[in-house]
Amino acid sequence: SLVEVVVSWNLPMHAWLKKYVFKQTKKSLGAGMAILATYGASTLLHGLSAQIAAVLFSLGLYTWVEHKFRSKLAKIMDASIETRRDSEGRYKNREGAAWVILVNLGFGLLAMFHLAYLGVMFGNSQESSSGYSWSHTLSKWRTLDFTSHYIVAAFFLISWVL
């Protein structure tokens, strides 16, 4: 899942952001604002580049939507298909069931698609090392018809209906 990628990408930074930004913000403002604040802090720590900000805030939105959608779907289907591994054995349909493996594989492939889409922003040019502008970032996504963003929007709407 994208959540696992984000958590595993930089474990010390994840632990620091979770302890000092996410948990503190969640106490007073809720989970949605905590995610926004966490990715905002990460953007600042990465140098406040428009390119990095667009990717990180998109990633924050993607992980939040994925978490909400998969949590609801896991409860409905009584299956281990949440964003994080079910170590407590709460679900009737466990990770070893063929259809659960296929569902998790599908989400894994979708995560790879999203990461490739977001990664298109980064290149080997001189401008890339200092960070592209908002217009360049949006222009790149526009050439891809904002496909990944629309997929996330669809998952958000489905999750809202569930």
- Is 46 tagged catalytic? yes
The whole-angstrom separation of Cα 52 and Cα 45 is: 10
Q: Are 3 and 84 in contact (CB under 8 A)?
A: yes
With a CB cutoff of 8 Å and minimum separation 6, the contacts of 152 are: 61, 62, 65, 114
Contact between 66 and 153 under an 8 Å Cβ cutoff? The reply is no
Catalytic residue among 14, 46, 136, 149: 46
- Catalytic positions are 46
